[in-house]
Structure 1
Amino acid sequence: MVTAGAAQAQSCRLQTHTLPLPLVSQHMPEHAYQVRVQVGTPPASANSAAAIQVLEVDTGSTGVVVPLSAAIQHAWDASSKLGYIFYSSNSQYHPGKYVQVPMRLGVSADGKSAVASIDSIEVLAAQCSCGVAPIPKATLPGSVQTLSQAPDNCAAYNDTLALSSGGKQMLKKCTTIPSSFGMMGVGYDRGVDAARNPFLNLVQMQAGSISPGYIIRASGITLGVSEQALQGFSLIALQRAAASAAGGADWQAPNACASFPASGSDYQVCGKLLPDTGITYMMLTPTKQPPAPAKLQQTLTTPAKPASTVSGQTSDTSATTSLVVPEGTPMTLAIGATGHPVFSYGFKVGGATPATPDGVQWRTALNVPPAHINSGRHVLAATDYAYDGACGHAGFRPAPATP
């Protein structure tokens, strides 16, 4: 069922082929979607499985980030484009370089075969894991070094400027990044050039034999979209964003509304929707007006957690305080134009159904719209999710009932 943009769909023809992407993970969306990949070209002396990595599929970001390794060393040496990724969740900063490398997806355990490949894609080769600290107030302006090239060791990053901080922070306690670190961002409307999205740049997509896009279900992932693969989906026509310095114009995210039935209030958060496979909880970023009712907000303190070598975290986290929707609160997520959703489902915060997120957090309210709703990945227990990057649609289809 096409609910919007029928004329657009008629003028845009999809190819007929798609590819199922093998996963190494199970029991999604409770657990993350993980794919075996090979990034770069292994040295001739290495066996076929030497450069294999398992990366998490993250629709909440765009672009691949992996540790510097022998398979991308040659591309590293040829690159002068510095880069970084900063995770606000654990305040870890990972500096490195952007490199152009081949990539294979759905790689077999022995490394000899793969479902899909990419001739060349720009990825971030992360060299180190660093903490960040405020620049001392007595520091003279411009006295904190800004690196113009990547050093050959992690200690050399210490006390240099954190490029993510707007000149307010420096790097501290930089150590070699764990080999298990990595992420595969496949989202859109994230402010990053779609040329960095591995799911949209397969060899077959570049050749025009597969239409760029993907379908994510609780049971797996399909690369490419076709009319047959989109059967049963309600499609939302997406709007093009203005071209930016990051690259060409991207499709904008669909709209959704999160409401609170039985709360005695007609308050709702309506704005851009991000079905984010990278997190298990929901985040609501409302506008300041109208303000969220006090009864829908609760302050929650989360105890400190030990360091995690899997995430690249190098120090214990401190206890955090967050503003959440109280447990037991009924909520509804309605996807599509306000008042005319193509899909909706309800849950009770703290409930046990598969589609219930692991909590609902409030984020700092915005001065101007649009608001933002990050559903987390548990929504995929309620709906299949499609992104048609060729014709500009987001699709939603009720998920099969779990046994």
Structure 2
Amino acid sequence: MLTVRKRLFAAVVAAAVVAGCGSGATTTPPAGSQTAATYDAYRQSYTVPWVGSPDFANLRTTLKVEASVNGGPVSPFTVDTGSVGVVVPASEVPNMPADSPPGSLTYSSSGLELTGVWVPASVSFPQAVDATGAGAAAQAAVPVLAVTSSRCRGGGVNSGRCTAAIPHMLGVGFGRGTTVRAAPTHNPFLNLAAMTAGTMRRGYLIGRAGLSLGLTAANVTGAWTMQQLTSAGSPAEGAHNDWLTPTGGFQSGSGPLHSGKVLVDTGLLDMIVEADDMPSSGTVPVGTAMTITVGDLRYSFAVGDGGPQTPTAVHRAPARNGTFVNTGLRALGHYDLLYDADGGILGLRPE
């Protein structure tokens, strides 16, 4: 990342739990001392600029970076922490093997179903620079869904806005399921050549000035609130284990604090909340006070108040897997986000 805070943490073991404190207008700092995982052994990283210089104080579109698949055209791709896998129109993927297996992917919030073939491919980031600021060849080898057709199936909270257009997506989430297609092997941010070689810490930072790929002592700085994730065990494919969805919850109005799981999903601008004792459809009324927790961090807003962390809407959905909140992208209105795939750590840093 180009935005750097100068106060370094004391180094501890690489997979340590971090109990930090947040700050800012909507944050209640958690109690406890500050410690951090050490990244001192790592020097390699890339920074990739965002397309369009997004305003984090008022995010109105998803975050995008330029990428190319198999040397095809360079296009803006949405960075989506709510899914796993690269999605691209098949017309933009050169040199597809004739025996590429069929595949499909459906986005639950929109009901968009994409069908095509899975292609082993190289995903490159032509605007990447290395830790010295020099242009660098940042490239990952992952399966890619080359999409030939799409349809709107309905059923999601955003299904009314589904257009069946084929998107450009970089699905870089974790804990998204136990199938082969949800495995870390399909995440382009975890399979760069230097990561495969073991010289780059597997992980990424989503920050104001751009996307950082690879974690180092130079970019993991500042007052992070971090949560040690629970291992999901060996995935259906690959050598690296996955991690379960972080703990968190929400409070709506004067209701109880619902504790369960939280997903910081950069693929959405709105929010989804689920709990057994709440309605399973509709939206939370404008003006309702909401409090969101992500591990030890807490932030608040009123629905519709237009604040940096206020989603465009708050949808209710059936609680099929217990209490759950999908924060949407605008949770990052006051924070940078870190995911350490080697240590199993999710972090948020106030900005």
Structure 1 residue ranges without an equivalent (≥5): 43-50, 134-176, 300-321
- Do the aligned residues in 1 keep the contact of 2:19 with 2:35 (CA within 8 Å)? no
Note the 1:193-232 alignment, pairs <5 A. 193-232=183-222
Verify: 1:395 aligned to 2:347, yes or no.
yes
- Do the aligned residues in 2 keep the contact of 1:281 with 1:376 (CA within 8 Å)? yes
How many pairs align? 300
Note the 1:28-67 alignment, pairs <5 A. 28-29=55-56, 30=59, 31-42=61-72, 51-67=73-89
- Do the aligned residues in 2 keep the contact of 1:8 with 1:391 (CA within 8 Å)? no
Q: Distance in 2 between matches of 1:89 and 1:333?
A: 20
Aligned equivalent of 2:245: 253
SS in 2 for 1:188: coil
Q: Displacement of 1:89 after TM fit?
A: 4.4
Verify: 1:326 aligned to 2:285, yes or no.
yes
Q: Displacement of 1:19 after TM fit?
A: 1.5
Greater Rg, structure 1 or structure 2?
A: 1
Cα distance change, pair 33–106 in 1 and its aligned pair in 2 (3 A): farther
Query: Residue 3 of structure 1 is aligned with which of 19, 26, 30?
Result: 19
- State the percentage of identical aligned residues: 31
Cα distance change, pair 132–61 in 1 and its aligned pair in 2 (3 A): closer
Structure 1 stretches of 4+ with a deviation exceeding 6 A read none
SS in 1 for 2:243: coil
Aligned equivalent of 1:95: 115
Cα distance change, pair 280–132 in 1 and its aligned pair in 2 (3 A): closer
Q: Displacement of 1:206 after TM fit?
A: 1.4
Note the 1:124-139 alignment, pairs <5 A. 124-130=145-151
Q: Distance in 2 between matches of 1:357 and 1:383?
A: 14
Verify: 1:239 aligned to 2:230, yes or no.
yes
Verify: 1:190 aligned to 2:176, yes or no.
yes
Q: Displacement of 1:9 after TM fit?
A: 4.0
Deviations 1:51-93 (A, max 9, x none): 2121111111011011112643x324242x1101223444442
Aligned equivalent of 2:324: 372
- Do the aligned residues in 2 keep the contact of 1:25 with 1:32 (CA within 8 Å)? no
Query: Residue 54 of structure 2 is aligned with which of 4, 23, 27?
Result: 27
Aligned equivalent of 2:43: 16
- Do the aligned residues in 2 keep the contact of 1:41 with 1:101 (CA within 8 Å)? no
Higher RCO (C-alpha under 8 Å, 6+ residues apart): 2
Q: Displacement of 1:352 after TM fit?
A: 1.4
Aligned equivalent of 1:359: 313
Could you tell me which amino acid in structure 2 is paired with residue 33 of structure 1?
L
Q: Distance in 2 between matches of 1:88 and 1:345?
A: 26
What is the aligned-residue RMSD (CA, Å)?
A: 2.8
User: What is the TM-score when the length of structure 2 is the normalising length?
Assistant: 0.77
User: What is the TM-score when the length of structure 1 is the normalising length?
Assistant: 0.67
Cα distance change, pair 106–190 in 1 and its aligned pair in 2 (3 A): farther
- Do the aligned residues in 2 keep the contact of 1:256 with 1:333 (CA within 8 Å)? yes
Cα distance change, pair 8–183 in 1 and its aligned pair in 2 (3 A): same
Could you tell me which amino acid in structure 1 is paired with residue 291 of structure 2?
T
Q: Displacement of 1:243 after TM fit?
A: 2.8
Cα distance change, pair 14–351 in 1 and its aligned pair in 2 (3 A): farther
- Do the aligned residues in 2 keep the contact of 1:37 with 1:53 (CA within 8 Å)? yes
Q: Distance in 2 between matches of 1:87 and 1:231?
A: 34
SS in 2 for 1:229: coil
Could you tell me which amino acid in structure 2 is paired with residue 335 of structure 1?
V
SS in 1 for 2:145: strand
